[in-house]
Structures are given as C-alpha cells and as structure tokens.
Amino acid sequence: MDLGIAGRVALVAGASQGIGRAIAMELAREGVDVILLARSREKLDAVSEGVRGLGRRSAVVAVDVADQSMLRQEVSNAINNLGAPTILSLAVAAVWVPQKLQFVSDEEVDRLFRTDVSSAVDLCRLLLPGMTEARFGRIVAVGSVAARSGVSGGSLYASSKAALEGLMRGIALDDSRRGVTANTVAVSFADTERLAMRTAGDEGARERLVRATATRRLPTPEDIASVVAFLCSTRASAITGAVVDATAGAHLNNLW
Ligand SMILES: NC(=O)c1ccc[n+]([C@@H]2O[C@H](COP(=O)([O-])OP(=O)(O)OC[C@H]3O[C@@H](n4cnc5c(N)ncnc54)[C@H](OP(=O)(O)O)[C@@H]3O)[C@@H](O)[C@H]2O)c1
C-alpha cells in the first residue's frame, strides 16, 4: 500500500532508540526525509546513517527537550536545512522510577512534565503553522494505555499521557479542517531498551508482560511504528482526534 507521503519531511522526537528510532526508519522506507531528535548525538548519528542508507535525507537535532530555548533554536536550524516538517511524531518519555506520588520530588514533577508534555506542546506550536500553510499535517503522539488504566507508581506518567491525548484531541478539533490530523497510538508494552530497563533484575517480569497480552507476544518497536506510519499517511485522512490501540490486547480482561 502506498502511504502517499514520499518526499515529505518528518520530525521524530525520541528518535535515538526504541519506538522513535523504528518510526524514523519506517518513515524513511516510505520515502520521507527525517529530522531526528533526542539527546544522544552518537545514537542519532547511527540512525541518521540508516535513514541515508535508505536514500533519504536526514538532520540530527541533539538537544534536551526540557531546554525550551535550545529546542526552538535547534529545530529551527534543522528546518532551514531540510525544510518544514508536515509530519511530527512524539515518542520522547523521561525515565521514571516507580514511586507513590507523595514521595516524588518537586524536581521530578517538573522534569517529567517538561520532558513529556511541555516539549510536545512546544513542538506542535513550532510546526503547526507550516502544516496549516501546507494544508497537510500529521501529528502522532506515542501514548500509553496508562492514560486510561493508570499504572502503579506512575501517577505522573499516566497523567502526562492523558495530557498528550487531550493535546491531540484539541489540535484535531482546531486544525483538521486545514488538513492536519492529530492522533495518539496507545501502547501497553513494546520490546525496547526502556522495557529492558524497567524489567531488569525482576525475574519473571517479561513472562508476566507477555501473559498480559492477548497475542502472547510483546509488540516490537516496528509493530508500533507501522501503526504510526499509517496514521501519518494520506490513507488515514479520516482518522483524527483518535486513540488508536496498539496494545496487543493488553487492555482486555485477560485474566482467564
Ligand atoms: N516501551 C514500552 O513498553 C512503552 C509502553 C507504553 C508507552 N511507551 C511510550 O512510547 C514512547 C517511546 O518509548 P520507548 O520504549 O521507545 O522509550 P525509550 O527507549 O526510553 O526512548 C525514549 C526516547 O526519548 C528520548 N529522550 C528521553 N528524554 C529526552 C529528553 N529529555 N530530551 C530529548 N530526548 C529525550 C531518548 O533519547 P536520549 O536518551 O538519547 O535523549 C529516546 O530516543 C514513549 O513515549 C513511551 O512512554 C512505551
């Protein structure tokens, strides 16, 4: 199926590893040029090489999204280089240690919301004018089933994901009539570096997660990236303000 986005420019936030890296590669396979954003320049350079290997152009933005002025500056530089993105994929998430809300420090609250929510707001505000002008835009936030189910020790994380869903719905209402769709892909678990870190030292954790899915298989980053790429396509123009489930059935009543 031709996704109809060849020749467009995308910005993928969180592109140095995991789901974001898989999204960047999937979009490049679809003929999209990609601005790759995360903190680790070394990892981004490796992804950039992969994108170029597929015959597409790429630019690296090595920046901490919590630094709003650097984020704006560096993204503007990349846009001057590669052109204005009409596709934005949001896959950044701060690492968090599970703990009850009353034990979370003020600094952790600030860091998590700045990294996971404010940066998404900043990037949408930066790119929306170009998208509405082009009369085409695709914004996809990688969310979590936690936005609806909650997650033990992750009140902040769950509320940040709920905020992202609300952000996508608001943009959908305001800008879909100008060709800009905004959606969330809800993930339960995906087999990424993040998951490996969360389950390290917990023997049996992986097995429990596999059993929590209806498919009895942890989705790969590529599984999630395929859903994101479809939502970025011209084929998905009727989907906006949606939360698309990519949980492998982990949201179902799966106790028996
Ligand atoms: N994996 C799962 O099981 C799962 C489940 C539900 C939802 N999700 C969601 O899916 C998305 C991707 O998850 P993942 O597993 O691929 O995560 P990951 O492996 O932790 O990757 C996160 C990405 O965000 C970047 N990042 C983190 N903090 C940053 C900062 N301050 N500034 C700039 N970049 C930053 C990281 O790169 P640097 O470290 O180089 O900055 C990395 O590229 C996240 O939104 C996550 O919440 C994942």
Q: Which residues contact 2 (CB under 8 A, 6 or more apart)?
A: none
Q: Which two tokens stand for residue 142?
A: 């990688």
170-198 pLDDT, tens digit each = 999 999 999 999 999 999 999 999 899 98
Distance of alpha carbon 132 from alpha carbon 178, whole angstroms: 6
Query: Is residue 130 one of the residues assigned to a domain?
Result: yes
pLDDT of residue 255: 80
Residue 254, pLDDT above cutoff 90: no
Position in ligand 1 atom list of the atom nearest CA 116: 45
3-state secondary structure of 242: coil
Average pLDDT score over the chain: 96
Taking the centre of ligand 1 as the mean of its atom positions, its distance from the CA of residue 44, in whole angstroms, is 13
Please write the tens of the pLDDT for every residue from 31-42.
Answer: 999 999 999 999
146 alpha carbon – ligand 1 mean position (Å) = 15
In a domain, 24, yes or no: yes
157 carries an active-site annotation? yes
User: From ligand 1's centre to the CA of 76, what distance in Å?
Assistant: 22
User: Which domain range does residue 37 map to?
Assistant: 9-246
Q: State the pTM of this model.
A: 0.98
Identify which of 17, 60, 68, 114 to mutate to test ligand 1's pocket (most ligand atoms within 8 A of the CB).
17
Share above pLDDT 70 across residues of the chain, in percent, rounded to a whole number: 100
Confirm whether 181 is domain-assigned: yes
Set 157, 182, 183, 190: catalytic member:
157
Among 12, 148, 194, 228, residue to substitute to test ligand 1 (most atoms within 8 Å of Cβ): 194
Q: Is the pLDDT of residue 253 over 90?
A: no
Does residue 252 fall inside a structural domain? no
Phi, psi of 27 (to 5 degrees): -65, -40
Q: Does residue 219 lie within any of the structural domains?
A: yes
Using pLDDT thresholds of 50, 70 and 90, give the confidence band for residue 28.
Answer: very high
Identify whether the C-beta of residue 218 lies closer than 8 Å to the C-beta of residue 187: no
59, β-bridge pairs = 35
Q: State phi, psi for 71 to the nearest 5 degrees.
A: -60, -50
What is the tens place of the pLDDT at every residue in 109-156?
A: 999 999 999 999 999 999 999 999 999 999 999 999 999 999 999 999
Confidence class for position 70, pLDDT limits 50, 70, 90: very high
CB-defined site of ligand 1, < 6 Å: 14-20, 38-40, 43, 64-66, 91-94, 115, 142, 144, 187, 189-190, 192-195
Number of domains into which the chain is organized: 1
Q: How confident is the model at residue 165 (pLDDT cuts 50, 70, 90)?
A: very high
Instruction: Say how far apart CA 182 and CA 140 lie, in whole Å.
Output: 6
What is residue 33's predicted lDDT score, i.e. its pLDDT?
98
Region 204-231: what's the mean pLDDT? 96
Residue 157 pLDDT grade (very low, low, confident, very high; cuts 50, 70, 90): very high
What pLDDT score was predicted for residue 198?
A: 87
- Average pLDDT of the segment spanning 35-51: 98
- Domain-embedded: residue 107: yes
Calculate how far, in angstroms, residue 193's C-alpha sits from the geometric centre of ligand 1. 9
The enclosing domain of 142 has a CATH number of 3.40.50.720
At residue 243, the pLDDT reads 98
Angle subtended at Cα 95 by Cα 160 and Cα 28, rounded to the nearest 5 degrees: 85
**255: in domain:** no
Q: Ligand 1, atom 20: nearest CA belongs to which residue?
A: 194
Task: Tell how far the Cα of 18 is from the centroid of ligand 1, in angstroms.
Answer: 7
The angle that helices 106-113 and 155-175 make with each other, rounded to 10 degrees, is: 30
